[in-house]
Amino acid sequence: MQNYLIIGKSERISKGNLRQSVLEDAFEALIGAIFLDSDYLTAEKAILNWQDLFVTAIRDTGSDFNPKGKLQELLQSQLDCPKVSYHLIKQSGPDHQKKFQIEVRVNGETISTGEGPSKKMAEEKAAKSALEIINSSK
């Protein structure tokens, strides 16, 4: 789907057509267009035809899905309920190609870092890394 989106030059340069939120919005618009162009049953049929793709996509992202939420849940399940925080430690690159480095701290102690083209992606990578560290120490 990402190859069929019409986006501006700066979005193309920053690979905005690959951003999860953009793809989700485009898919929602596609379903809405099918519904508006036909009817509910046709839209439902289209969704059901794509059901196997949905299941595969969910399975493929399984452990990576919402690492910040998973880290928060894991820590909240502990008796002392440690506090999680994310801190920007480095930002570099031109505006259209920023790179962020974020560290995740638990009770003020740095557990891991993550890097990405957005703060959100860097935080998710840091959380995923923290989960791996915590789970490997059990």
Within 10 Å of residue 123's Cβ, how many Cβ atoms? 22
112 and 104 in contact (C-beta within 8 Å)? Answer: yes
Query: Which residue's entry shows tokens 């910040």?
Result: 68
25 and 43 together in one domain: yes
6 and 57 together in one domain: yes
| Number of domains, the chain | 2
Task: Give 29-86 pLDDT, tens digit per residue.
Answer: 999 999 999 999 999 999 999 888 877 766 665 544 689 988 998 888 887 888 999 9
Which tokens in the block code for residue 85?
A: 């925080």
Domain that holds residue 45: 2-64
Query: Per-residue pLDDT averaged across 87-92, rounded?
Result: 96
Of 38, 64, 90, which closes a domain? 64
Task: Give 12-34 pLDDT, tens digit per residue.
Answer: 787 777 777 778 888 899 999 99
Query: Which residue's entry shows tokens 């989960």?
Result: 131
List Cβ neighbours of 70 (8 Å cut-off, separation of 6 or more).
127, 131
